[in-house]
Amino acid sequence: IKEEKAPEIYTDRSSGGYDFFPNCTKNAFETAASTLDERISSHGPSDPNVVNWVKAQDDVFANCVSGRQAPEDPPAGAPTWLQKDRAYQKAAAEFYSMNYDAARQHFAEIGLDTESPWQETANYMVIRTLIRQASLTKDHAKSDGIYDDAERRLQSFVSGTGKFSSSAERLTGLIAYRRHPKERVSELAKKIAFFSGNENFRQDVIDYCWLLDKFEANILTEEEQKKAAEEAKKNPANANGGAEYAERLANSNASTSAANTAANTESQYKYITGKKKSDEDLEINLYIDNSGSYTAYVAPEATDAEAIAEVEKLVGRPLTEEQKNQVKSTRRSAYAACFSTNSGSSYEGGYYGQEKLRPALLAGFLRQDDITDWLFAYQMAPTPEAYLYALNKYKAAPSELWLMTALSKADQTSTYLPRLFEAADHVSHDSPAWPTIAYHTSRLLIDQGKMDDARRIVDGMLEMGERIPISTRNTFLQLKVKFTQTLEEFLTYSLRRPYAFDFGGEVGRIDDMIAEQKKQYDPEYNKDGREAYEKEIEENYKVEKLWQDRAMFDTDTIEVFNQHFPIPQLIEVERSPALPDYLRERFAMAIWMRSFLLDDLANLLKITPEVIKYHPDFADDLQPLLSAKTLSSQDHAILFFVLKHPILTPYIEDGMGRTSDEQDPMASDNWWCAPYDQEYDEATGAERPKAPPHRPAFLTAVQSRQAQTDRKRLKEIGDSPKYLAEKVMDWAKRFPTDRRVPEALYVVISANGWTKYGCGNNEDITTEYSTYLRKHYPDSEWVRKLDEDQKEK
């Protein structure tokens, strides 16, 4: 069976919430299919009236993606059922073509027809039409009036069959969300807190969260504006300076625009824009190479042919087939955008300023429902004010939620902690709140130096094994590490199983990622068939799948290794029985590379057999090092080996680590980049040195200082592309006849070239070294390869 890509109108384009309307929903197609089944069952598939019905329904759905196409009137003498169906089909076509006034009128007429099987549906569709129209109306005053009309109709709407009861409830919630947000958030708080889930529960939770985000954004924005106004009163010169800057910027933009206009006039490149007849018109853009840019406007109901004709008027000649296809694609995209961008996003949260929520800013209506009050309080930063607020809430009405919140805001000096610890002891370990209460109680006890009490709680949580989520177990392992006294204990409790993996923003298990990738199969592009496509996906994720259930070190632990462990202690880690075999490779290679950069030849040679053990493919490349008779030959063998293997780095890597040993301009880990030991200070708005991680108890201060000294030297060495280039140039000048030099020069030229995420992009080095390579080794194959690379660019 040949697989075909589904038509565009069947593609799910919903994004959740209310800010995006798929023009034709899944339910519309299901209703049409169900109706067709009934008509075929009653009259047969070849009945002319059934065939006529199908043709009319195709016309209805043609409006999903474009234009304004109305079904024809039923033929003379058509049966009553077809006449009633056709009246509804015409109203539906008007709805999908955005002719809402006509659609509402005709749905209302059907709603008065007691003999129509569509009477109840039509009465419901009158309300839906009003809401759709309001959602796409830019004038807020006008849209509010339409919403109010829909709300009045909903109050009197009764679904006699019960078919639309749940849908009507959703529409009521939508209107309340937009017209009565304060009342709606309280209503939703009660529903979510006290009622079990129903088919509207997901949307209720979305609405509730969006409203909370909106109110928080409003509160913080108002506070920021208030402070800005107060600052402007104190320093009026700054406020005027802002106005002057805006004026200078406007003048600068005007000058730039004038310059661009002059340049465009000189180049004869045309910018031609048609006349916009209405704010609702679709914008159609066509770009013709070396000729011009054309912008036409057509009504939302315009067909592809009408859009092409309008653009051809601007261009002054018939369009090519390719240009016609571009116009069609642009018109359809603009039409689809009517159901997203024109409506304006309903999500009004997202504050990105510097203000932080605190109890004093919380409005009264957000305190009246305990769940809302608690959610805001729990998300506040752990300040003394937030602690006292949560503590007073707990004292007024003791509950596990407010106990958990008070503990989460406390520090080791907070008042009333003994009473909170006592209450925590009485919380059932089966309570959903217990893991969080246990964590913060343990955290505070550790900070107070009560290690035995903290250890008892932490060990109890870890003994629960699979009964707690992976993320919870990892959190308590993080606390467990604070009690470790030996390297083996540190390694054992620092290993964590990931609860999810992040692939370019997509988060989930690796099997989930593979399944999601397989869904992207498209027979139009994947010509070898589904089986071959899925096999390729499995192959692409072969290495990643190995890590799905493996334990690994988190970023914080990796920083401890990189900042507190000198080379001898890293060798102990690599040889420890507590370290899983699949992690030994990265330690061995980091030790080898770090030894090279720190001129520690003894440890480099000591760890080389381990590197070969985990990378047998390195054996031939390392043989010149093992057989070298002089220090210079050793140095050159080491350097050449490093150049051929960009997988090498002096730093222990987190996550899965790098698996590819190919230089990649899109990668951020070709060899290494100098560590960035700065962090953003929110209090000052400036960068500050990042404090090193806590030193494990089993490491001595001397060992830690040695590691810090080594790290300082590595930072002074800097980024690998520039460092390796300097080493290679020194080699080339001192040993110009070494046959490996041309290749070495080529490698560092590539390493210092363009990179998207790495630390190359050293144009001066690539220019100098390219010139040197061509001048001193003109007949080398690496010159030819360099020329080929430049042609490809």
Q: Which neighbouring-strand residues pair with 293?
A: 271, 287
Q: What is the DSSP string of 107-158?
A: HHHHHT-TT-TTHHHHHHHHHHHHHHHHHT-S-HHHHHHHHHHHHHHHHH--
Residue 731 has a pLDDT of 98
* Structure token digits, residue 217: 């954004």
417: helix, coil or strand?
helix
Distance of CA 157 to the CA centre of its chain: 41
Q: 469 with 461: CB under 8 angstroms?
A: no
Q: Between β-strands 506-508 and 552-553, what pairing exists: parallel, antiparallel or unpaired?
A: unpaired
Which residues are CB-contacts of 499 (< 8 A; sequence separation ≥ 6)? 469, 470, 471, 474
> In this structure, what DSSP letter does residue 616 have?
G
Q: Where are the beta strands (DSSP E) in 275-396?
A: 282-288, 292-298
**Surface-to-core class of residue 347, CB atoms within 10 Å of its CB (0-12 exposed, 13-18 middle, 19+ buried):** middle
> In this structure, what DSSP letter does residue 712 have?
H
Amino acid identity at 177: Y
Q: Quick: pLDDT tens for 455-505.
A: 999 999 999 998 999 999 999 999 999 999 999 999 999 999 999 998 878
Distance of CA 736 to the CA centre of its chain: 51
Residue 406 has a pLDDT of 98
Compute the distance between CA of residue 247 and CA of residue 406 in angstroms, rounded to an integer. Answer: 50
Largest CA distance in the chain: 105
Compute the distance between CA of residue 513 and CA of residue 536 in angstroms, rounded to an integer. Answer: 14
Compute the distance between CA of residue 402 and CA of residue 396 in angstroms, rounded to an integer. Answer: 10
Compute the distance between CA of residue 579 and CA of residue 552 in angstroms, rounded to an integer. Answer: 10
Compute the distance between CA of residue 23 and CA of residue 29 in angstroms, rounded to an integer. Answer: 12
Residue 672 has a pLDDT of 95
Q: Where are the beta strands (DSSP E) in 646-791?
A: 678-681, 686-689
Residue 12 has a pLDDT of 32
Three-point CA angle 266, 268, 272, nearest 5°: 120
Q: Which neighbouring-strand residues pair with 285?
A: 295
Q: Which residues of the chain have pLDDT under 70?
A: 1-22, 66-67, 196-197, 237-269, 289-290, 336, 338-345, 793
Q: 746 with 785: CB under 8 angstroms?
A: yes
Residue 164 has a pLDDT of 92
Compute the distance between CA of residue 165 and CA of residue 177 in angstroms, rounded to an integer. Answer: 18
Q: Quick: pLDDT tens for 489-500.
A: 999 999 999 999
| Alpha-carbon torsion angle 692, 696, 702, 707, nearest 10 | -50
* Structure token digits, residue 25: 């929903």
The H or E element spanning position 516 is helix 510-518
The H or E element spanning position 503 is strand 501-503
Q: 377 with 406: CB under 8 angstroms?
A: no
Amino acid identity at 646: P
Residue 246 has a pLDDT of 46
Determine the number of helices (DSSP H) and then strands (DSSP E) in the chain: 34, 9
pTM listed for this prediction: 0.77
Residue 223 has a pLDDT of 95
Question: Which stretches of 304-368 are DSSP H helices?
Answer: 304-315, 321-337
Distance of CA 667 to the CA centre of its chain: 19
Q: Between β-strands 501-503 and 282-288, what pairing exists: parallel, antiparallel or unpaired?
A: unpaired
Residue 479 has a pLDDT of 97
Which residues are CB-contacts of 24 (< 8 A; sequence separation ≥ 6)? 9, 61, 64, 96
